[in-house]
Structure 1
Amino acid sequence: MLAALSYWLAWWLYRPLLALVKFKATPENLFERLGLDPSRPIAFVLPTRSWIDLFALDKVCRHYGLPRPQRTGASLPTAGRAGCVYLPALLETRVRMTELSQVLATVAKDPQFDIQIVPVSIFWGRDPGSETSLFKLIFADIPQAGSARKFFISLVNSRNMLANFAQPVSFRSYLQDEPDTAKGLKKLIRGLHFHFLRARTAALGPELPPRRIMLERVVNSRLVRRAIEHEAKTKNLTLEQVRKRAWRLADEIGADYSSVAVNFLERLLTIFVWQRVFRGVDVQNLDRVRELAQSHEIIYLPSHRSHADYLLLSYTLYHQGLVPPHIAAGINLNFWPVGGLLRRCGAFYMRRKFAGDALYTAVFRGYVDALIAKGYAIEFFPEGGRSRTGRLLAPKTGLLAMVVESALRSRARPVVIVPVYIGYDKVWEVGSYFKELKGGAKQKESAEGLLKAGKILTKSHGKAYLNFGEPIPLQAYADAHLPDWRAHFGAAADASADSRPEGYPAFVKELADENMRRVNAAAVANPCGLSAVALLASPRGAASEDEIVEQVGHLAWLLKGEPYSQQLYIPDANPKSVLDWAAPVSRLVRVPHPWGDLVGCASRDAVLLTYNRNNIQHLFAVPSLIANLFRTRARLSEEAAITGCRALYPFLRTEFFLRWPPEEIEQVARRTLEVMVNLGLLRREGQDLWRPDVTQKSFSTLAMLGRILGETLERYGMTALLLAEERKTPQNLLRSKFEQDCRLLAERMAVLTGRDAPEFFDPALFKGYLNTLIGMGLVTEQGDGEGQRNLVVDARIERIAERSLELLSDESRQTLLQLLSRRRDTTLTGAETVSSSP
């Protein structure tokens, strides 16, 4: 009776406060994600004794249609009445008999009785705890807060409450695994205790020291002290002078994280940006990250396509109940008023180049060491800059090498790398990207540019997509690929030594490439991307609407028939709704016609569509390669098709960061061929494969599929043919000159064929293809003692050049051979002129 009276008295006392409470609950779609069985009793477990936490939980449960919690006391929950118990009450049962312990002992003896236990963490505010102000010391939510302090904490943070629900666990499962009932109960209680500690760390992060203390730790670290002494000695300066410079550098770099600023930015983005610019943010595969965050330190390595990326990722994590990471941002973003706000939201700034400044390098590395030692989540973009073409860029390994070394040296929690694919129906900077690719100057980030960017808020850009890829446990990955790392970085290593294992740079490079492959494995085949792939593969960037719908359907069925990876996400596979969604966002134009509407786009919009296509082009690399093998022949044996895939796959893997190692491509190609046969894109007769008749609808789909890689295969053909030409000349072949010639040839061919795709002559793509040839031993790179690199070409390149021509269309083959012939004549004429001159 007294307990019931206390409950109702507290409920009426807290009722006005509950009316003010604004909450978030994680995970999203709570009712479906928990998957509670209504036929079995439910018991919610709260980490601390608190009336307001219990009433807040009741409010959340009412909102989501979950069973409402009642204080358990000495009575058991039933299927129609959910219970609630506090962790301290459970802990108390381990040291003395209580009403609850007697109930648990009784329940344990009944093998037919089971309870669904749902741990729930209630956080008032998102401050992890700090020593920076008296206000935070008083009003930051801490587990040890008494009743009076808890009241004021909940009052101050009533508009920012987070309820984090864990997946239900079976009470009976703990007793079945442990024959001794008492030990089984202790195991359950211990598991709940550790769960709440880890859930708090995952949602709020580690405690934040004052910024000045953090910077002092950096400047006083062994690494930075040694750099200070070295610079003072080499530049004839006093230690105090160099130390002051180190302080200035640390102040330039360091973040100043504030939960107040993060909460402010979250509301600002919600009201003024995301709801105006995007029609929603589609998040996939976050549950695995949420689970890892409880036991691991996380390093997020996302793709980089827009300035919105870092805002979107931090916003999503915060919205989903996880602590936002500290973000390595370019110093170009440190301008008023954005720089200060981003710094308060966890950004730490880095210069574009470290070379030549040993002190800056040491301070930056010391700051990274400090972040990892404290257990903060970190985010940076391995590509180094935003992709202007929509493809993933080759990763830069400087910062990754620092972070990996710090993580492997750390004695804190294990570290996991999380690849993140970030995509958009329409990137808001895409117009400026193509101006830059065509030679326009990159616009410098500034307050003036920020004001001009306000027009973005007046346009809809469809949806944004975040897909969290397969994580890479760093220590386990190092065990497999850098076996002796523990001798240099492990607990037994000399802490004063800075030596790295042999092969460390190659290990970091492979790790960077593996992350990019996992980013691409988590690609999102969104409606605008699928529509762009089909439309741009049409002969003139236009086709009948029913044909485009049919081809979009085949693209989706290909991805479903032979999924690129388990992480691949297709938001909508219905071809008609895909086109309907993409039309207004991508500005597709419907042209009415008595025989059926046509779909196309203006030339400028066709250029913009290439960005969407390039986001997911890699998903169709193998099917498109197979389709190209049938470009000039109606019949091909299956083994010949497999051989063609095996020969070209290494180049495609380098360019598109494809996930399969070369030894697996044969099986992948066979499975893809089977899917294409089932879809009617190919016909099997015995050991041979036949393409459809030209009068069949599937013929146009197969032709469309082949054009997806058309430009890529043309680049390969250009490079191979140029190498074959240069091999016949007696002059040294300079790598820099050869790469320039490849780009010039591509530019000329783009103009002659009417192709308006600047990435067609992207120098990085020719460089990647050449690197693959070098790796395969078809080209050898040599130095001449003057810093120049010469190329020595193997005779086998001539056969590759000959085979490359077979994959090109008649028009492309003719244009390319004409260009090379005229270039040869021009070169010979120039040589004769030089030789005949006095």
Structure 2
Amino acid sequence: MLQSALFWLCWLMSRPLMAWLRHRSTPDGLPGALKLSGEQPVCYVLPQRSWLDLFALQRICRAQGLPVPQRIGHSLPEPGRATFIYLPALLAPNRDVDSMERLFAEAEQRDNYDVQLVPVSLFWGRQPEKETSLFRILFADSFGAGRLHKLFIAIFNGRNLLAHFSEPVSLRGFMSGTTQPRRALRKLARVFNIHFLRVRTATLGPSLVRRPVLIDGLLRLPAVRHAIEEEIASSQKSAAKVRKRARRIAEEIAANYSTTTLSFLDRLLTPVFHRIFKGIEVQGLERVRQLAQTHEIVFTASHRSHLDYLLISYVLYHAGVAPPHIAAGVNLNFWPVGGLLRRGGAFYIRRSFKGDPLYTALFRAYVDMLIARGYSISFYPEGGRSRTGRLLQPKTGLMAMITESALRQRARKVAVIPIYLGYDRVPEANSYASELRGTAKQKESAQGLLKATKVLTKSFGKPYISFGEAVRLQEFADRKLEGWREGFGSAMQPRRPEGFNALVADLATEVMSRINSAVVAYPVALTAVALLAAPQKAAAENELSEQIELLIRLLRAQPYSADMNIPVSDAGEVLAWATPIARLSRIPHPWGDILLAEGKQATLLTYYRNNIEHLFALSSLIAAMFRSRVRIPEAQLLDATEGLYPFLRTEFFLRWPDAQGRQALADTLATMESLGLLQREGTDLLRPEVTSSASAILSMLSRITGETLERYCMTAVMLSAEAGEAPIARKQFEEDCRSLAERIAVLTGRMAPEFFDRTLFRGYVDTLIRLGLIARQVDDHILVGERIHPLARSALELLSPDIQQTILQLVARRGHDAISATSGQSV
């Protein structure tokens, strides 16, 4: 009786505190996300005994529309009468255990009786344990705090309460295999104890180490001490100078992760994001929550904007997942941003540290420490922001370090989670276009930051963040590198197993492919795809809407991947959203308004088209085969497109291996036929009647990857002209290809500097070498064989007659007339 009176007195006194409470709940979309059955009673399981936790849970449940837990004494929970249980009650023999035993006994006697057990973790503040922190001792949330201590915790952290609801589990499930309630209770206690520990680690991260302690620890590591001694011996500098330099490097690299700063950034960024964005679209968070409980996490994201750093951490923080340590370019380490980002988890990496073994040893040791302590890491495989909108070829240096550190440690498995980021408008888009034209990149500085504040006066639509399917690193290594566990050697004699570099290269390609598999076909990108495929970057509004509708139907009929998302599937809504954001011009006309992208806006639209161009790579390749032909035998069509598939796969990081390219093309062909874009007569495929809308849409599809196919053709034609026994200088050849593309861009009036991007031609040459069509020679030379001629002929077939003529004439004027005979030949 006294205990009950005290409970209700505390409940009454807590009312002001509960009214002051500000909470956040995960996962989003409660109660739908829990999928609770209204026909079974609910019992919430709390990890520790605390009336304040219970009162907070009651308030949160009311706000979320969930069943509210109540004290029900010795009664059993029934539908409409939710209750609760503290985990400690399951670990000690007391009357609560007796009540739970009766609950299990009731479940055993009544076949249709079951209880939904819902684990709930409450975090007052987001402060993980930190060594020698006085604030933590007084006010930070701690497991098992006394009543008075808990009151202080609630008072000082009540505005930052996170409640994590886990999926309900069946009480009857714990009864399986036993008829003894006490044994079932022990099983339940073990399962929930492990679960709560995992949720706590995933939400708060591991214990933090003060930065000075961490740096001192790095400098004492054997590998770092050896690098210091090596530099002393080789540089003839004094030991004091070398050690001082080593400390400066460590201080330059190391983050100063602070949850207080994260909370500050959350409050700072929330109004900023609300001002410049019309919401943030996120998908795939639940898989991150689940993996964070069982794996160490490495996030690998596409890099579109400086906002990427902030958005990923912001989204994870709001989702109740510990934000990662972020590998950031040292160019961002300027006042006042550098220190703020460092406290938000950024650790800094130089663009290149080849030839500096001391820096290499310290950075490698720091990565080892992050992995060993269980901190999540985020980095950008591309190395820098993409200026074109498509994924860049990955840089494998940091990926190799992280992979090696992850595979060396055996305590916990590591999962690499790819992240796709897209924007309706990228704040840096204008500078990207200038840089592609040759303008020098502006160095990041405080002055530039002040200029960047003008973004606060603009609207940028929405960012789209999609967490893709994880690569479980140990399982990936098992498939790709036999015996890797023994290949790393010992701690005293470390080494990399033979084949490790190939493993990292395969991992990089797989990660980039999975980033593109998590693609979001957002409205601005879909509109850009359709409008830029129009001959003059202009189209009647109703026709443009029809084309967007067809693109959406094509994606729905044959989804690129299970993770692909189309946030807006109505073509009218897509166009209505994209028109003002993309700044399309509208020309009124009695027969219907015309929308067009003029000048600079057309150039900017290519960036957003490139974000999702890979979705239509195969259908566009097939459509291009019908540019100048009406009928093609199916087998001949598949033969020709299969030969070009590896180039598309390399440029767009398509998800199908080369061996599966033909089947992917056949599936795409069947989809296009089912949508009426192609017709069949026996084994032949025909283009629809030229006056039909299907024919117009097929032409639109063929132009989506038109510039890509033109670049293929230029490379193949120039190589075909160079075929012979004499090797050619690779760098000069790639520069010649770039110059030819630049000239064609000028002659055809194109405003897309990416058309003559040198890195794309480098990728084509790499693919040709991989396919054995050209051979790599010493001194960075290549040797071109006769097998290149059929590829050049196939590539020419994909182009319109005027572009064919332009390419052949330009090559011939350089003295390359050997290919002239290829024009006019069939596939």
| TM-score, normalised relative to structure 2 | 0.97
How far did 1:818 drift?
Answer: 1.8
How far did 1:39 drift?
Answer: 1.5
Other-structure match for 1:822 = 813
Which string of whole-angstrom CA distances, capped at 9 and with x for unpartnered residues, describes residues 403-429 of structure 1? Answer: 111111113311110011011111110
Aligned residue for 1:69, secondary structure, equals coil
Other-structure match for 1:525 = 521
Among candidates 650, 673, 676, match of residue 677 of structure 1: 673
1:340 equivalenced with 2:336 (yes/no):
no
Q: Which shows bigger deviation, 589-598 or 130-139? A: 130-139
Residue 27 to residue 715, structure 1, CA distance change in 2 (3 Å)? same
Unaligned 5+ runs, structure 1:
828-838
Aligned letter for 2:810? L
Other-structure match for 1:743 = 738
Other-structure match for 1:583 = 579
Aligned residue for 2:611, secondary structure, equals helix
Other-structure match for 2:787 = 796
Which string of whole-angstrom CA distances, capped at 9 and with x for unpartnered residues, describes residues 8-34 of structure 1? Answer: 111111111112111100011111111
Distance 1:57 1:620 in 2: 48
Aligned residue for 1:621, secondary structure, equals helix
Aligned letter for 1:760? F
Aligned letter for 1:589? S
1:375 equivalenced with 2:370 (yes/no):
no
Aligned residue for 1:80, secondary structure, equals coil
**Is the 1:262–1:345 contact (alpha carbons within 8 Å) kept by the matching residues of 2?**
yes
Q: Which shows bigger deviation, 719-728 or 237-246? A: 237-246
Distance 1:126 1:324 in 2: 11
Other-structure match for 2:74 = 74
How far did 1:243 drift?
Answer: 2.2
How far did 1:825 drift?
Answer: 8.0
Aligned residue for 2:158, secondary structure, equals coil
Among candidates 785, 795, 798, match of residue 807 of structure 1: 798
Aligned residue for 1:123, secondary structure, equals strand
Distance 1:731 1:106 in 2: 87
Residue 442 to residue 373, structure 1, CA distance change in 2 (3 Å)? same
**Is the 2:130–2:209 contact (alpha carbons within 8 Å) kept by the matching residues of 1?**
yes
Among candidates 586, 594, 602, match of residue 598 of structure 2: 602
Aligned residue for 2:422, secondary structure, equals strand
Q: Which shows bigger deviation, 234-243 or 319-328? A: 234-243
Distance 1:447 1:312 in 2: 21
Aligned residue for 2:815, secondary structure, equals helix
Among candidates 749, 752, 755, match of residue 754 of structure 1: 749
**Is the 2:467–2:518 contact (alpha carbons within 8 Å) kept by the matching residues of 1?**
yes
Distance 1:90 1:572 in 2: 48
Which string of whole-angstrom CA distances, capped at 9 and with x for unpartnered residues, describes residues 681-721 of structure 1? Answer: 01122211111111000111000000011101100110011
- The count of aligned residue pairs is 818
Aligned residue for 2:126, secondary structure, equals coil
Aligned letter for 2:429? V
**Is the 2:18–2:55 contact (alpha carbons within 8 Å) kept by the matching residues of 1?**
yes
Q: Which shows bigger deviation, 534-543 or 172-181? A: 172-181
**Is the 1:228–1:359 contact (alpha carbons within 8 Å) kept by the matching residues of 2?**
yes
Aligned letter for 1:701? I
Alignment of 1:437-456 (within 5 A): 437-456=436-455
Other-structure match for 1:687 = 683
Other-structure match for 2:825 = none
Among candidates 755, 773, 780, match of residue 768 of structure 2: 773
How far did 1:54 drift?
Answer: 0.6
**Is the 1:129–1:137 contact (alpha carbons within 8 Å) kept by the matching residues of 2?**
no
Aligned letter for 2:803? S
Aligned letter for 2:516? N
Alignment of 1:343-362 (within 5 A): 343-362=342-361
1:404 equivalenced with 2:399 (yes/no):
no
Other-structure match for 2:645 = 649
Aligned letter for 1:805? L
Distance 1:707 1:386 in 2: 26
Distance 2:554 2:450 in 1: 44
How far did 1:527 drift?
Answer: 0.4
Residue 97 to residue 811, structure 1, CA distance change in 2 (3 Å)? closer
**Is the 1:629–1:807 contact (alpha carbons within 8 Å) kept by the matching residues of 2?**
yes
Aligned residue for 2:441, secondary structure, equals coil
Aligned residue for 1:33, secondary structure, equals coil
Distance 1:731 1:33 in 2: 66
Aligned residue for 2:31, secondary structure, equals helix
Alignment of 1:56-205 (within 5 A): 56-93=56-93, 98-178=98-178, 180-205=180-205
**Is the 2:436–2:753 contact (alpha carbons within 8 Å) kept by the matching residues of 1?**
yes
**Is the 1:174–1:187 contact (alpha carbons within 8 Å) kept by the matching residues of 2?**
yes
1:241 equivalenced with 2:241 (yes/no):
yes
Which string of whole-angstrom CA distances, capped at 9 and with x for unpartnered residues, describes residues 564-596 of structure 1? Answer: 100111101111111111001101122111111
**Is the 2:382–2:394 contact (alpha carbons within 8 Å) kept by the matching residues of 1?**
yes
Other-structure match for 1:222 = 222
How far did 1:727 drift?
Answer: 2.3
Distance 1:97 1:292 in 2: 32
Other-structure match for 2:257 = 257
How far did 1:102 drift?
Answer: 3.5
Residue 569 to residue 93, structure 1, CA distance change in 2 (3 Å)? farther
Distance 1:298 1:73 in 2: 43
Alignment of 1:362-761 (within 5 A): 362-489=361-488, 493-727=489-723, 732-761=727-756
Aligned letter for 1:446? S
How far did 1:597 drift?
Answer: 1.3
Which string of whole-angstrom CA distances, capped at 9 and with x for unpartnered residues, describes residues 321-376 of structure 1? Answer: 00000001111101111111111111111111111110111011111111111100
Distance 1:211 1:584 in 2: 47
Aligned letter for 1:677? E
Aligned residue for 2:118, secondary structure, equals strand
**Is the 1:131–1:137 contact (alpha carbons within 8 Å) kept by the matching residues of 2?**
no
Aligned letter for 1:818? Q
Aligned letter for 2:604? L
Other-structure match for 2:52 = 52
Which string of whole-angstrom CA distances, capped at 9 and with x for unpartnered residues, describes residues 107-129 of structure 1? Answer: 43322210111100000000111
Aligned letter for 2:793? E
**Is the 1:73–1:100 contact (alpha carbons within 8 Å) kept by the matching residues of 2?**
no
Aligned letter for 1:217? G
Which string of whole-angstrom CA distances, capped at 9 and with x for unpartnered residues, describes residues 466-487 of structure 1? Answer: 1111100111111111112101
Distance 2:300 2:94 in 1: 44
**Is the 1:488–1:494 contact (alpha carbons within 8 Å) kept by the matching residues of 2?**
no
Distance 1:520 1:576 in 2: 26
**Is the 1:94–1:186 contact (alpha carbons within 8 Å) kept by the matching residues of 2?**
no
Q: Which shows bigger deviation, 171-180 or 405-414? A: 171-180
**Is the 1:217–1:370 contact (alpha carbons within 8 Å) kept by the matching residues of 2?**
no
How far did 1:736 drift?
Answer: 0.8
Distance 2:177 2:687 in 1: 59
Aligned letter for 1:274? F
Residue 825 to residue 361, structure 1, CA distance change in 2 (3 Å)? closer
Unaligned 5+ runs, structure 2:
819-827
Aligned letter for 2:421? I
How far did 1:289 drift?
Answer: 1.0
Give me the CA root mean square deviation: 1.6
Distance 1:9 1:593 in 2: 74
Aligned residue for 1:312, secondary structure, equals helix
Distance 2:335 2:497 in 1: 42
How far did 1:132 drift?
Answer: 4.3
Aligned residue for 1:289, secondary structure, equals helix
1:40 equivalenced with 2:40 (yes/no):
yes
Which string of whole-angstrom CA distances, capped at 9 and with x for unpartnered residues, describes residues 288-321 of structure 1? Answer: 1100101110000000010000100000000000
Which string of whole-angstrom CA distances, capped at 9 and with x for unpartnered residues, describes residues 133-184 of structure 1? Answer: 3122221111121110000011111111000000111111221354554433
Q: Which shows bigger deviation, 567-576 or 67-76? A: 67-76
How far did 1:238 drift?
Answer: 4.1
Distance 1:359 1:282 in 2: 43
Q: Which shows bigger deviation, 646-655 or 669-678? A: 669-678
Distance 2:95 2:409 in 1: 37
